[in-house]
A and B are shown apart, each in its own frame.
Chain A
Amino acid sequence: DAGVTQSPTHLIKTRGQHVTLRCSPISGHKSVSWYQQVLGQGPQFIFQYYEKEERGRGNFPDRFSARQFPNYSSELNVNALLLGDSALYLCASSLGPGETQYFGPGTRLLVL
């Protein structure tokens, strides 16, 4: 039973660099959402994709972008990294945008 997978598990970058995070949804799930979780807080919505199209965007700057591929996997890109981008980045998949979401293990990003 393969759940949501994310890579890499951990990442260390320096300010100004670029990062790409990857997510593979549960088989059969066509919607992927990305969240940022800062220590001690709840997940904050970044993007939702469904059938390769952006369906929703949270209050994040344009440095954050994402895309979904034909196999429904997804990438989250963050440019010009800031110290404040340090967080756990969670991917969640669902059958569709209105369905129950299941989270991946996350990618822990540290920006120095």
Chain B
Amino acid sequence: AQSVAQPEDQVNVAEGNPLTVKCTYSVSGNPYLFWYVQYPNRGLQFLLKYITGDNLVKGSYGFEAEFNKSQTSFHLKKPSALVSDSALYFCAAHGGNNRLAFGKGNQVVVIP
């Protein structure tokens, strides 16, 4: 069965510091990987995805993620966090003839 793990409940980072949100996955076949962001009382918004090609994927709002096949990871990164990046971040994975599987989400708090 597909699964996505986001090991930390909350990530705290000072404004201007690098931000990393961790994600590992378990899927059958080639993985298709996504990051979504959720602001309070809103639905999930697409940030970026990995389908094939370059392992470093760039997305919206200055975010990027690195696909690491050997470690089955797809960590989300941003070089310099903003207070407005405070939100809930979901990693999702797709493999084989299945649907998206989501992690439990990580709350990111950027401290001014």
Is chain B a partner of chain A in the same complex?
no
Q: Which B residues fall within an 8 A CB radius of A?
A: none
Q: Which A residues fall within an 8 A CB radius of B?
A: none
